[in-house]
Amino acid sequence: MLRQAGTERAFEGEYVDTDDDGLYRCGACGNPLFDSRTKYHSNSGWPSFTEAVSPEAVELLEDTSHGMVRTEVRCARCHSHLGHVFDDGPREAGGQRWCINSLSLDLDPR
């Protein structure tokens, strides 16, 4: 998943329905990526966030695989694949949906 840009099956990831308070870190290197306060239930089947902890935490790349154009999200520290970001998130929170694979994350509870 992290190295070959895979996607876990929808609604099967550990953090899809998790509401625990904490900091989500990269599952490969521990880099802080997402705060649980920005997580929301998008009903997409994957954990969704409205933003990363900082622009420096992630890198965004154009992904033209599977016959579509998307924005891939990678860890800025170790370059592991995390998921994709889309512009169909909650408008009141900036309009982005960071759709992230549970397998690419570790939750550090507060």
Task: Write out the catalytic residue numbers.
Answer: 99
- The residue whose two tokens read 């899809």 is 16
* 52's tokens: 């990363």
Phi, then psi, of 91 in degrees rounded to 5:
-60, -40
Classify strands 39-40 and 32-35 as parallel, antiparallel or unpaired: unpaired
- Distance in angstroms (rounded) separating the CA atoms of residues 84 and 61: 9
Phi then psi for 37, rounded to 5 degrees?
Answer: -70, -15
